[in-house]
Every structure is written in C-alpha cells, then in structure tokens.
Amino acid sequence: MNKRPSIKVLPLLFYKYQKGEGFFAKHMNERYDYELGHYYYQHFDAVFNRDGIYYNRRTGVCWFETNGKAYVCDKKDFFNALAGYEAGEKDIKLFRQFKLIYEYDKSALNKEQMQFLIHYSNNLEVRKQKRQNLKRMLMFKRRLGYWSGE
C-alpha cells in the first residue's frame, strides 16, 4: 500500500477574509463574496475547513478553501504556487550566479536552471509587490484613522 499522502496543501495567499468590523474588513469581505460567487461556479463544503490550496494527487483535483467553503480551481495554480515556494527556499546567491551566466551566454543554462531563474525572479517580484501593497494599505488606514502606527 502506498504510504505517501495523496493530498498536498499550501497556504492560501488570495481570498483571505479579514477579521473585524471595520470599513476595510467589511469592504474586502463583500468583494471576496462577490468575486467567489461570480467567478468560481463549482463550489462545495470545505473538506478540511482550513484556508489553503489543496491538490489530490490520486484524482488530479485541485481546490482552495476559504471562509468555510471550497472552490474548484485549475491545478496549474497549485503548481505555480509550489514552484514559487520552492524557488523562494533557494539561496539568492545561486539566483545571482545563474543570472550572471544567463546575461553572459543565454544558451549556457539548461531547462531546469532557466525554470529556476524564472520562478525565483517571479517570487522576488511577488515579495516586492506584497511589501508595496502593505505600505499602501497602511497609508490608507492612517488616512482613515484606523491605524495610528503604535
């Protein structure tokens, strides 16, 4: 019998419902409800009742769970997120070395090394966007008086 688990799980980075009763939390939660109701037609009760993106290796089904509901999604979403996590675990020095080799001779890298370069650079861009979005959100909350910075 196969001892490997059949379901893989990653943390959910999108459609994270906000806690609290403030304007921002209500607005985001209403927006998520609207988007999930209109863009994801196949939904069902949550299996694990924990926010995350799941992939069943035996059946090939991929879904994400949020706010007590599950929504079917494309398995490419799971594998792209997984590649981003794997690339994020690698050392930045290795990325810089591959990038330097690529700039010198584009044909010197094999397919796996090129995939690593692409995924790691995408991961760096996502981290940069998250930092910028967090800064914008804090500025917005400060302007509205929800956060004083303490």
- In the numeric block, the tokens 């500025």 are attached to 139
| CA distances in angstroms from 67 to 12, 15, 19, 102, listed in the order given | 11, 9, 11, 44
If asked whether residues 44 and 95 sit together in one domain, one would say no
If asked whether residues 59 and 110 sit together in one domain, one would say no
Alpha-carbon span 60 to 33, nearest angstrom: 26
If asked whether residues 29 and 69 sit together in one domain, one would say yes
Of 48-57, 70-79, 84-93, which gets the smallest average pLDDT? 84-93
pLDDT in tens, 48-60: 988 889 999 888 8
Q: Which domain holds residue 14?
A: 1-75
Q: Average pLDDT of the chain?
A: 82
Looking at residue 2, its pLDDT comes to 57
If asked whether residues 13 and 61 sit together in one domain, one would say yes
- State what percent of residues in the chain have pLDDT above 90: 3
If asked whether residues 20 and 59 sit together in one domain, one would say yes
Rg value, the chain, Cα: 19
**pLDDT surpasses 90 at 13:** no
Alpha-carbon span 88 to 98, nearest angstrom: 15
* Domains: count for the chain: 2
Residue 33: inside a domain:
yes
Stretch 61-69: mean pLDDT: 88
- pTM score, two decimals? 0.59
If asked whether residues 3 and 64 sit together in one domain, one would say yes
Max CA separation in the chain (angstroms):
59
Residue 85: inside a domain:
no
| H or E stretch covering 56 | strand 52-56
Looking at residue 88, its pLDDT comes to 63
- In the numeric block, the tokens 């069902």 are attached to 44
Of 75, 110, 140, the position where a domain reaches its end is 75
Looking at residue 54, its pLDDT comes to 92
Of 75, 101, 121, the position where a domain reaches its end is 75
Residue 107: inside a domain:
yes
If asked whether residues 56 and 5 sit together in one domain, one would say yes
CB 75 within 8 A of CB 55: yes
Alpha-carbon span 73 to 51, nearest angstrom: 14
Query: In one letter, which amino acid is 133?
Result: N
If asked whether residues 69 and 95 sit together in one domain, one would say no
Residue 30: inside a domain:
yes
| H or E stretch covering 100 | helix 92-104
Residue 83: inside a domain:
no
If asked whether residues 94 and 148 sit together in one domain, one would say yes
